[in-house]
Amino acid sequence: MENALTFTKQIDRQYDDKFGVAGAKIGTTLNVRKPPRYVGRTTQALAIEDATETSVPLVLTTQRGVDVAFTSADLALSIDDFSKRFIKPAIANVANGIDYDGTAQTLNIYNSVGTPGTFPNAALTYLQAGQRLNEEACPVDDRKIVMGPGFVPPIVDSLKGLFQSSERIAEQYDKGMMGIGLGFEWFMDQNMRAFTAGSGGAITVSGASQTGSTLTVSATAGAVNIGDIFTIAGVYAVNPQNHQSTGALRQFVVTAAAITGATSLSIAPPIVPATGSTNPTLGAGFQTVTASPAGGAAITFIYTAAQTSNVALAFHPEAFAFACADLQLPGGVDMAARVADDQLGMSIRMVRAYDINLDRFPTRLDILYGFCTLYREMACRIAGG
């Protein structure tokens, strides 16, 4: 199973032990706390700031599995034959399904570089992804790039001397590991997704001085999809630590689908200007933009209407989290067992019964898990063909 996971192995899995703790079970939801942010002062006078903690729910929402039935004759096979014929295909299905679910987190990311519709073939695009992470105060260590198959030939051909084998890679035996360069570990994952944009059209901000995670706009010309990215004229991004403008327009991502004619968009990050914020939960320490948008400010989507484009992802592991919980082992069956891997943070349950009528053993494999995006700012999408 480990060899069939690429994206999932690269993200944070420290929260598994929070679920299913004897005497302290929390159900299927863990609210992961994020640290407060402060403005600071440059004067001698005391200036106490509110310590506002935010949180992101990590919910175990998916129970994925494979159900098969083995005859007595099947079970008489050698272990190697039985594993090759039955177990390996089942586990491969489960693992790739988990990984594909995980890559849906790309839709939560608002920073994007590259040209939608064109696979990047130069180092510059990937360096720009690193620049975006730097501007968002993302840690520089342990950064990853995970890309689909179509991204690989153009960049590997362009940087032939960059991706060299190393003792570290040989020790890891990581499926999909391409190499190390430009400040990233590079991986290929066939489960990376393509994104299809909506067709919101030419719209504008409706009303000045807006803040928060909902933006009132003029009526959209078409549907707007989750994952659509746009900029607003005159609204620039700021570094989350020093609160200075990065010089680039802030990119926003749509977090809930909107129908044709919609007049409001759910967005991330929330609009939090330096002063005058009316956001009820976030203060100036969480500033995301240089200023609130002006009334009538133009909104520009970075994808052409209805355009489909493959997406790669540059990120720090703590941008995302994956968790898994042990499923209960039932009684009264022929066999019930569980296998867990602390390093992977995964636990698979197998339950086998006996069907006396057909002399076979119905068997099910199950895993309960969930993903979440913890720090959107610690990831950047890379548009491709």
> Bridge partners of 188?
147
Q: If we measure between CA atoms, which residue out of 110, 117, 116, 174 comes closest to residue 146?
A: 174
Determine the CATH number of domain 1-195+307-385: 3.90.1690
Contacts (Cβ under 8 Å, ≥6 apart) of 305: 197, 198, 199, 200, 201, 222
Reading the block at residue 77, the tokens are 């096979």
Distance CA 375, CA 35 (A): 11
The C-alpha atoms of residue 240 and residue 130 are separated, in whole angstroms, by 16
Give me 48's structure tokens.
Answer: 């106490």
266 with 256: CB under 8 angstroms?
yes
The mean pLDDT of the chain is 86
In this predicted structure, the answer to whether residue 57 has a pLDDT above a threshold of 70 is: yes
Judge: domain 198-301, CATH 2.40.30.240: yes
The pLDDT of 157-181, averaged and rounded, is 64
Averaged pLDDT, 155-159: 85
Report the pLDDT value the prediction gives residue 176, as an integer from 0 to 100: 65
pLDDT tens-digit series, residues 268-311: 999 999 764 455 456 777 899 999 999 999 999 999 999 999 99
Q: Do strands 298-301 and 203-204 pair parallel, antiparallel, or not at all (unpaired)?
A: antiparallel
Report the amino acid identity of residue 65: G
Confidence check: pLDDT of 93 > 50 = yes
CB atoms closer than 10 angstroms to residue 96: 17
pLDDT tens for residues 216-241? 999 999 999 999 999 999 999 999 88
Name 316's Cβ contacts closer than 8 Å, sequence gap at least 6: 133, 138, 139, 142, 143, 144, 375, 378, 379
Cβ atoms of 361 and 355 closer than 8 Å: yes
pTM of the model: 0.87
pLDDT value at residue 84 = 82
Lowest mean pLDDT among 19-33, 82-96, 215-229, 291-305: 19-33
pLDDT, residue 87, reads: 81
Give per-residue pLDDT as tens, 36-56.
777 777 788 887 777 777 778
Torsion of CA 318, 322, 323, 327, to 10 degrees: -170
Average pLDDT over residues 208-213: 93
Nearest alpha-carbon partner for 99 in 11, 227, 177: 11
Q: Is the pLDDT of residue 174 over 60?
A: no
In terms of average pLDDT, the best of 67-71, 145-149, 341-345 is: 145-149
Does residue 171 surpass a pLDDT of 90? no
Residue among 154, 196, 164 nearest 301 (CA): 196
For the segment 352-363, what is each residue's pLDDT rounded down to a tens digit? 999 999 999 999
Domain extent listing, the chain: 1-195+307-385, 198-301
Residue-level pLDDT at 253: 98
Nearest in space to 301 (alpha carbons), one of 197, 194, 195: 197
Both tokens assigned to 31? 């609210």
E-assigned strands of the chain?
29-34, 54-59, 62-71, 112-113, 144-147, 177-181, 184-188, 194-196, 203-204, 212-216, 229-238, 245-254, 264-271, 298-301, 308-315, 320-325, 335-341, 346-352, 360-373, 379-383
Q: What is the pLDDT of residue 27?
A: 59
> What pLDDT digit, counting tens, does each position of 244-255 carry?
999 999 999 999
